[in-house]
Amino acid sequence: MNVLPKPFAGPADLTVRINRKRCQGHARCVAIAPELFEVDASGETQELRGGAVPPDLANKVYLAAANCPELAIDIVEAGEQA
Amino acid sequence: MPIAHTDRFLGVYLPSRYEDIRAIAYDPEHFSSRRIFVREGKRPPLKSPPITSDPPSHRAERKILLPPFTPAAIQRLEPRARALCRELLEPLSGRSACDGAVDYAQEIPARLIAHMLGISEDAGDQFRKWVRDSFEHSMTDVSIVQRVVAEVSAFFDEEIARRRGARGDDLISYLLHARIDGEPLSKEHINGTLRLLLFAGVDTTWSAIGVSLWHLATHPDDRKRLAAEPQIIPTAVEEFLRAYAPVTAGREIVKETELAGCPLKVGEMVLLPFGAANRDPEIFPDAERVVIDRAENPHAAFGLGIHRCIGATLARMEMRVALEEWLGKFPDFALAPGAAVEWSTGPIRGPRQLPLTLGAG
Ligand code: HEM
Ligand code: SF4
């Protein structure tokens, strides 16, 4: 069983999505990439800016996904099907 | 066979692989939280929502608890946590020895949760005694749990009565005003949740801070590195949580099923040893090694699935601040020569006595 997502070869046009069914709100993603995620006042985690990932944050979004214990972070490359 | 079984404690299975532990945590239909600890005798089921709840009621009971534990809310507590650590370190100044578990680790979560509940921080002493009795001394003597629950309930009843008139800014007041489907929570619900906040937050965090100090006392290279590079403390905290995960939860098997080819009997318990999941080499490369700057660390120390720990952000903050303050004051320390480190028994694992020599200070 492999839980770690594959690292990216390089910056691409990336979008990040939190899988609502899996996310349990541990906020590991927020701790690692506060530029990309936030926890709202009710305790739910959200993607910022609709999940758009600036190219210089490609590595951070990968790290956030690799540290999410629920495997709730999906990273989608432009042109790929979610 | 990756799953062990004992007839003791009314029958218990022990899985050991990440995959199996995860599968159980994700399957409340077969594995109920109405019993989460293994004990030698049956006792009347006691509700501490949300940890003892199953779907569908679990979701709403959990949701009302989230707002006081968001990163923003916990950040506001950080100054108090830091001041508390300094107050505890102050009397150790100039000493050449202390007990890292007794003098430091155990005090931090007990006092901070008292602070959050709007109770005198001196109640921390009483909290710790209740918590230890109910986790460590009750596995074989169920009557202890009943006594502790009665005492804790009476204590909180009084605190609740005190708040009926004037709403405070504390967690007890928060629960008194919380609503599920427009309805206030029942007295039993509030009392059960308060008991949970007390019991879930104290022994666990105490163990996590204590075992971090134990690791640093026995691994001088890691200790020197963290003292010199405090910015990696948050990453090290995650690694200590992975390698020394303090909590083993459990579930009652309520529907016949099997796991990794092993049939499971209804009515027996299955343990969730999150520490074993965290050392599964299938998931964590070099799993047996403690790597304080491990970058990819999706560990399960706070559980997995719907019961995932609500206090995780709080616990992480406490661990980070406790280590920052300790290393700032005592960058140089070690296990006392010939020291007898005493480890807890029961579902929460950590050092209860940790004799240390203090180099500088
Ligand atoms: C390092 C310290 C801690 C560890 C290792 C830890 C671990 C855990 C684990 C493994 C669970 C899941 C239990 C299960 O699946 O049955 C859990 C649940 C829970 N924890 Fe923690 N915990 C810690 C600190 C705290 C603190 C400080 C609080 C709050 C004051 C807290 C409150 C809770 C609550 C309310 C739940 C129940 C969540 C639910 O059932 O939905 N924990 N914790
Ligand atoms: S780390 Fe994963 S589970 Fe936790 S809040 Fe982020 S997406 Fe949700």
Report which bound ligand comes closest to the CA of A46: 2
- Whether residue A9 is contained in a domain is answered as no
Query: What pLDDT was estimated at residue B123?
Result: 84
- pTM, two decimals, is 0.94
Ligand 2 and A70: CB distance under 6 A = yes
Query: What pLDDT was estimated at residue B43?
Result: 65
Residue found under tokens 């209860």: B352
| Top mutation candidate among B36, B63, B190, B309 for ligand 1, by most atoms within 8 Å of CB | B309
Query: What pLDDT was estimated at residue B124?
Result: 81
Query: What pLDDT was estimated at residue B115?
Result: 93
The rounded mean pLDDT for chain A is 86
- Whether residue A82 is contained in a domain is answered as no
- Whether residue A30 is contained in a domain is answered as yes
Report which bound ligand comes closest to the CA of B62: 1
Domain range for A56: 21-77
> DSSP for B173-236?
HHHHH-EETTEEPPHHHHHHHHHHHHHHHHHHHHHHHHHHHHHHHH-HHHHHHHHH-GGGHHHH
Number of domains in chain A: 1
Query: What pLDDT was estimated at residue B253?
Result: 97
- Whether residue A25 is contained in a domain is answered as yes
Query: What pLDDT was estimated at residue B312?
Result: 96
CATH number at residue A66: 3.30.70.20
Query: What pLDDT was estimated at residue B361?
Result: 40
State the Cα–Cα distance between residues B173 and B194, nearest whole angstrom.
11
Ligand 1 and B315: CB distance under 6 A = yes
- Whether residue A56 is contained in a domain is answered as yes
Query: What pLDDT was estimated at residue A13?
Result: 83
Query: What pLDDT was estimated at residue A82?
Result: 47
- Whether residue A11 is contained in a domain is answered as no
Query: What pLDDT was estimated at residue A60?
Result: 94
Query: What pLDDT was estimated at residue B60?
Result: 93
Among the partner-chain residues B18, B19, B67, the one whose CB lies closest to the CB of A43 is: B67
Residues in chain B predicted with pLDDT less than 50, given as ranges, are 361
B271, B252 Cβ separation under 8 angstroms: no
Ligand 1 and B311: CB distance under 6 A = yes
- Whether residue A61 is contained in a domain is answered as yes
- Whether residue A57 is contained in a domain is answered as yes
In angstroms, what separates the C-alpha of A16 from chain B's closest C-alpha?
Answer: 18
Pick the residue of A1, A21, A40, A68 with the most B CBs within 10 A to test the interface with B by mutation.
A1
